[in-house]
């Protein structure tokens, strides 16, 4: 009887001990799992640093594309067209001086005014584009990508321009139209009612326009980008 009782008590003690051990290890595993979860999350957060670094480098790549657009599609055409217009304008004035008797001081003043009007318009246009280059480089970068895609024949249809906004943007198209009409109108008035022949009157304003853009943009290319 006593042996049976001791056996029962011993069995119950072993069962309780085993159950407590199971609960202990189960609790330890649960705590271990809970401790491992933050490490996994932390590893995931650390692993997500790489995409963030890529995103940090992306604006620099965009600025580089915008800079390439300025070099290829603003500086180079401005230098070439500016040289042609300057040769045509000055050559026309030289011809008017030596081949005709119509060159007077009024011709000098009017031709200088045409050249200066082109410089003013080119400077205004360049200041606005430099503002876009500084504040919205993705606009010029998108134009560069479109030109490259068009050269490769991959651009099948006209793509949407980069979305951007700034104060007075609605007035920009009207400013472009007004500037163009100013140069064309001054040229017509100079040879129709003034003392400048048609050839220099046509070329001199655009010579000032392109040379102004060339010199103002060259400063952006040659100085550090942070000072633009």
Answer with the residue of higher pLDDT: 156 or 149.
149
Dist CA 209 CA 126 (whole Å): 10
Q: Would you kindly state where each structural domain of the chain is located, as residue ranges?
A: 1-47, 59-156+164-227
CA 104 – CA 112 distance, rounded (Å): 13
Given a contact cutoff of 8 angstroms between Cβ atoms, the answer to whether 137 and 66 are in contact is yes
User: How sure is the predictor about 162, in pLDDT bands with cuts at 50, 70 and 90?
Assistant: low
Coil, helix or strand at residue 89: helix
Question: pLDDT tens for residues 176-189?
Answer: 999 999 999 999 99
Q: Determine contact, residues 62/138, Cβ cutoff 8 Å.
A: yes
User: Stretch 109-127: mean pLDDT, rounded?
Assistant: 95
User: Which of 10-14, 36-40, 103-107, 131-135 is modeled with the greatest confidence?
Assistant: 103-107
Q: Which residues contact 62 (CB under 8 A, 6 or more apart)?
A: 137, 138, 141
CA dist 73 → 37, 77, 78, 133, 181 (Å): 54, 6, 8, 14, 23
On the question of pLDDT at 39 being above 50, the answer is no
Evaluate if residue 86 carries a pLDDT over 60.
yes
Q: Is residue 44 over pLDDT 80?
A: no
Top mean pLDDT of 44-48, 81-85, 142-146, 148-152 is at 81-85
- Cβ pair 163, 78 in contact under 8 A: no
Q: In which band, very low, low, confident or very high, does the pLDDT at 66 lie, cut at 50, 70 and 90?
A: confident
Per the confidence metrics, is the pTM higher than 0.75? Answer: no
Range name among 79-83, 98-102, 222-226 with the lowest pLDDT average: 222-226
């Amino acid at each position: 009887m006593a042996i049976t009782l001791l056996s029962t008590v011993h069995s119950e003690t072993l069962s309780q001990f085993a159950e407590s051990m199971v609960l202990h290890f189960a609790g330890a595993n649960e705590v271990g799992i809970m401790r491992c979860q933050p490490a996994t999350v932390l590893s995931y957060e650390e692993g997500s640093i790489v995409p963030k670094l890529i995103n940090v480098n992306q604006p620099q790549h965009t600025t580089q594309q915008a800079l390439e657009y300025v070099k290829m599609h603003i500086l180079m055409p401005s230098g070439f067209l500016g040289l042609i217009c300057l040769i045509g304008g000055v050559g026309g004035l030289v011809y008017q001086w030596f081949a005709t008797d119509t060159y007077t001081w009024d011709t000098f003043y009017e031709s200088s005014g045409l050249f200066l009007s082109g410089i003013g318009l080119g400077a205004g246009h360049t200041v606005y584009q430099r503002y876009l280059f500084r504040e919205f480089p993705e606009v010029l970068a998108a134009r560069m990508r479109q030109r490259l895609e068009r050269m490769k024949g991959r651009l099948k249809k006209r793509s949407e321009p980069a979305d951007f906004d700034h104060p007075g943007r609605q007035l920009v198209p009207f400013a472009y139209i007004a500037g163009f009409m100013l140069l064309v109108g001054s040229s017509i008035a100079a040879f129709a009612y003034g003392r400048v022949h048609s050839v220099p009157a046509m070329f001199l304003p655009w010579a000032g326009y392109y040379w102004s853009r060339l010199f103002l943009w060259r400063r952006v290319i040659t100085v550090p980008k942070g000072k633009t």
